[in-house]
Amino acid sequence: MIKSQLIAALADRHPQLTHAHAERVVNRVLDEIAAALERGDRVELRGFGAFSVRRRPARVGRNPRTGESVNVKAKSVPFFKAGKELRQRVDSSTPAEPRKDAAVA
């Protein structure tokens, strides 16, 4: 599901919301999560999961094309850990069909 599908599903489920209002709601929620992560806060949605920021240290990497060593700076990255209820719901559901555009191993 992509963002536009989420907005459409929200508007369909709640007829009192217009599509534009549903879009504002989704954007506002996502903006608040992003702002909290920017501040270094943790965002926990009970039953769904928790968003946090993890720090990755500087390291020496390799350019895959040339094999040349490249210094990679330290950075902060968003991290999501699924909650217990979400993990149970996904685990108990029927296996998903492989995506047609997924790479074949």
Predicted confidence at residue 93, as pLDDT, reads 78
Residue 97's contacts (CB-CB under 8 Å, 6 or more residues apart) are none
* pLDDT > 90 fraction of the chain, expressed in percent and rounded: 87
Residue 17's domain comprises: 3-86
Domain count of the chain? 1
Q: Is residue 94 part of a domain?
A: no
Give per-residue pLDDT as tens, 90-105. 999 776 666 666 555 4
Give per-residue pLDDT as tens, 20-54. 999 999 999 999 999 999 999 999 999 999 999 99
Handedness of CA 29, 34, 39, 40 (dihedral sign): positive
CATH number of the domain at 70, please: 4.10.520.10
Residue 42's contacts (CB-CB under 8 Å, 6 or more residues apart) are 36, 50, 51, 52
